[in-house]
Structure 1
């Protein structure tokens, strides 16, 4: 006889709040209706310099300077990443920072040939991972009492949730790093099983992607590759 699954808990938003915690029933208040003095009453857009740093002028580095990335910077980076929204505040991302030459050399056999030099020359190589058992932390991360049991009873759902939200947090990491003045080079050419066997076997974490982290040696001299236009990539329905 199959084990019955727990009843689905109250739906949660990406910031971990249930709908009635975000906007109470019958209320039409939004951030722009916040009371005077409330921080939400002022939400100006970022200025041009910030948008340039995060998006318009940000480029994937092709070489790295010798400037080191301090441990305190990595702590600050994670403290920004963890604030980004995830479903039910599940926070499945796990980051492994490879900073020593020995650890980077261990990574070499797992990398595609074209990624070896640019990846391993970075001051820090980040293994962006997710924890399939993220739900074990939900009793202290989420306000929803049944959320842990809900995910524990459905392996497919928990794996999908871990990968999707871990990917979100990986994106937050790239933007947070740029906001801190760092440059980031993401890589997807690698043997994930080799990485998991060599670096993650004691944790049970799964690898998503790799990123080089540091300070660019010089801005890329080639023009930015094309992107799809709004009408090619978006629908407004």
Structure 2
């Protein structure tokens, strides 16, 4: 049976008492939040981005790896370079969003482990294998990206995360040192007219969770 929005709201309300998060915050971060496809002209300031980062930097990662790297695309010249490599429908929204961030993984994150994971002096040496290090960078940077999206929402802004772009080309364009890999592009701003598509369904609890 197809569940309507009202059905889901009633279902979710049954479990609200088990959350520490109040209903307004849960709506802001999860239930009412959507991927934005249009944005208003209101700018996103550096102070807002700094506030977002200071919140989401606490995301849990394995061994406190910190591979996420963020490039804020603000200049018209840089925006044009990025838009060229975006796919189809992602081009116009990336052209007009108040702020665009390219989120990447630093494959040499292990160089900073002595600083961010000082309790284990040999941590850096564990990632001497390049393939293992690259896999860890991808996994942990992706986890940090998820928190980054939540941070954008927590700031009262809308996020439009995208993977529909030529990742190799964006990597060459914005990370020519060859040590970083573009994983996602996120448009950021206040939602504009017609920003949201219809809410799509999610799997139910019993379809996802098993107990052993």
| 1:36-115 correspondence to structure 2 within 5 Å | 45-115=20-90
1:173 is aligned to 148
State how far apart, in whole Å, the 2-side matches of 1:68 and 1:135 are.
35
If you compute each CA radius of gyration, which structure gives the higher value, 1 or 2?
A: 1
State how far apart, in whole Å, the 2-side matches of 1:190 and 1:182 are.
23
Q: Is the 8 A contact 2:172 2:178 kept in 1?
A: no
Choose the corresponding residue for 2:124, options 112, 136, 148: 148
TM-score (structure 2 length as normaliser): 0.87
Choose the corresponding residue for 2:111, options 133, 136, 140: 136
Any stretches of 5+ residues in structure 1 without a counterpart?
A: 1-43
CA positional deviation for 1:220: 4.4
CA positional deviation for 1:219: 6.0
Any stretches of 5+ residues in structure 2 without a counterpart?
A: 1-18
Higher mean displacement: 65-74 or 106-115:
106-115
State how far apart, in whole Å, the 1-side matches of 2:174 and 2:200 are.
34
How many corresponding residue pairs? 194
2:134 is aligned to 159
State how far apart, in whole Å, the 2-side matches of 1:203 and 1:95 are.
15
State how far apart, in whole Å, the 1-side matches of 2:51 and 2:141 are.
19
State the Cα RMSD in Å: 1.7
TM-score (structure 1 length as normaliser): 0.78
